Structure 1
Amino acid sequence: MKQSFVFTTWLTCLLLVFLGNNQSADAARSPKEEPVRIVSLDGTVSEILCDLGLQSHLIGVDVTSTYPESLKKLPKVGHNRTISAEGVISLKPTLVLTTQNAGTKSEVIEQIKSAGINVITFQQEYSIAGAKKLIQDVATTCQVGSKAKPLIKKLDADLALVKKATNSPKVLFIYARGTGTMMVSGRGTQVDKMIELAGGVNATPDFENYKPLTAESLVAANPDVILLFDSGLESLGGPGGLLKVQGVAQTNAGKYGRIIDMDGHLLSGFSPRLGKALQELAQKMNQKPKA
């Protein structure tokens, strides 16, 4: 209770000068009159806030904020890449939190700021060190820095249990929203980093970010494993539907049924559950091919 009060008081009175915000602290309303009201535009930030015991301050989240389950009860302001400033402002937050990787348009951020709302953008690096730093940064910003230590300790314990995939399987990640939207991951994406950390090799390392999937590139990549978000695999009709996509059945992954899926936020969020995500990914990558 004491930490929550300190958090409320500190945010309301001091966040106006954090990260170069030049608004006068005189404009801050009394914390007794209005507790800090947070909108999170990033699922990983939302998860960290909950792990820090600050969920009661959340009044709205983006659609990537799916964990913990209780976040699904909060008002949604849209996907972080297509958020409108009006939707955020209508919730009357005193603080908006996001990351530079979330993809919210800069003009939307400026609109929110122009409404007198404080916006803090955290830097997020897709690595183990980056995951720990984001936990610490969010905790420090919310002046509950001591609560970061047990979260990071738990992350380290989970990471110690990861049994990396053997034989460095070639893994192709397909981002799918039905057969009409199918993209493959190149270098530098969250999933590319996860594949590497779990002991695999990206099957398409010759380009950055994402490219449309083609039958020719699929056969040329010839992955040992095909990885998708669970929602993406479902949009294709499950493994059977994916095997009907031109070129998939001709790959080693298709021939031996090595098609795996994971929760999208768990796989790509680099959240406090990073160790759990790598455990699951490595285990699935280690599964023996079907005879």
Structure 2
Amino acid sequence: MPRATPTPSLPLSRRAFVALAGLAAGAGLQSVPARAQVAAAQRIVAAGGVVTEILYALGLADQVVGVDTTSLYPAAALKDKPNVGYVRALSAEGVLSLKPTLVIAIDGAGPPDTMKLIEEAGIRVERLPDDLTAPGIVTRIRTVGRLAGAADKADALAREVDVKFQALAAERDRRAARKRVLFILSLQNGRVVVGGRHSSADAIITLAGAVNAAADVEGYKPLTDEGVIAAAPDAVLVMQRGDHALSASDVFGLPAFAATPAARDKALIGMDGLYLLGFGPRTPDAAHDLMAAVYGLGEGQAGRRP
């Protein structure tokens, strides 16, 4: 059955999107009284790119004594701070050698034995809830700020991010028809590994006002040729950099994609992995950029990072 053509709407440009958020959020971080931020300085190891991103956004880089390899934004983090390994394969010795007072980790950081050793050494370990919704991301920001002794700064940043999410929701609500987007993580033996329901890819596609074309799959799984054909994506989403980078020829050269709307329109969207799937302060901007790319709002190339 042919899908309905989206009802024309007045798109919210990236500039207007950011300006609206700034006005509605008030004075933002600069309005927080200095006396409200007085707290004992922590020595923090950030285990997860989003943790690092939030800490830096709050102006707490001086409290960060170590980061993991997924801490790619801002670039100064991995350049200036000791590296304690991949977030799911952390080095207990590396963490303990930094003499942290606090480890803030994403859900799934590990391995479990390493986290246990760190806690047994008397180091406080706090894990962020794995809630990738707009309210969940706002809560993440407030949680990190509270743990780091910067609750007021975090509350101001959380309000700014929440206003951006509200603007994004208004833009979603103006769409009468939703396009189908297929996120491809990698290729394995000629098959695509896709992001199904309850995956981070599913969360960002939903925030961007599109439909996950792989919603029949749970998590990240290989998709059969028949599954690709049935998914009938209008666009394919991939990560721009790193080991999982895929080109249009990689994807649309596969026979299963030949008859899809995405292949017909050469609709391949590439975005930076952490920007797309980090679920931190930049997420409303990432979702807006993805929406612009999917629906052709004339915003320029997707994946542009602030």
Q: Is the 8 A contact 1:173 1:226 kept in 2?
A: yes
2:134 corresponds to which of 125, 128, 134 = 128
- The CA distance in 2 between the partners of 1:87 and 1:99, in whole Å, is 18
- The CA distance in 1 between the partners of 2:92 and 2:202, in whole Å, is 31
Correspondence list, 1:176-255, <5 A: 176=186, 182-231=192-241, 235-236=245-246, 238-255=247-264
- The CA distance in 1 between the partners of 2:191 and 2:77, in whole Å, is 28
* Structure 1 range deviating more: 227-236 or 87-96: 227-236
Task: Note if 1:265 corresponds to 2:274.
Answer: yes
User: Residues 63 and 182 of structure 1: is their aligned pair in 2 closer, same or farther, counting only changes over 3 Å?
Assistant: farther
Deviations 1:153-181 (A, max 9, x none): 22134334433366201111111278778
Deviations 1:201-243 (A, max 9, x none): 111112321111332321221111111111269733x222322
Task: Note if 1:173 corresponds to 2:151.
Answer: no
Task: Note if 1:41 corresponds to 2:47.
Answer: yes
Task: Note if 1:95 corresponds to 2:112.
Answer: no
User: Which amino acid counterpart does residue 6 of structure 1 have in structure 2?
Assistant: A
Number of equivalences = 259
3-state SS in 2 of match to 1:231: coil
User: Residues 274 and 250 of structure 1: is their aligned pair in 2 closer, same or farther, counting only changes over 3 Å?
Assistant: same
- The CA distance in 1 between the partners of 2:222 and 2:242, in whole Å, is 15
User: Which amino acid counterpart does residue 240 of structure 1 have in structure 2?
Assistant: S
Correspondence list, 1:123-162, <5 A: 123-162=129-168
- The CA distance in 1 between the partners of 2:139 and 2:52, in whole Å, is 15
- The CA distance in 2 between the partners of 1:128 and 1:98, in whole Å, is 19
Q: TM-score, normalised by structure 1?
A: 0.80
Task: Note if 1:50 corresponds to 2:59.
Answer: no
Q: TM-score, normalised by structure 2?
A: 0.77
Task: Note if 1:84 corresponds to 2:91.
Answer: yes
Let me know the Cα RMSD of the aligned residues.
Answer: 2.5
Task: Note if 1:63 corresponds to 2:69.
Answer: yes
User: Residues 200 and 156 of structure 1: is their aligned pair in 2 closer, same or farther, counting only changes over 3 Å?
Assistant: same
3-state SS in 2 of match to 1:278: helix
Deviations 1:138-166 (A, max 9, x none): 11222211112221222134334433366
Q: Percent identity?
A: 36
- The CA distance in 1 between the partners of 2:184 and 2:231, in whole Å, is 12
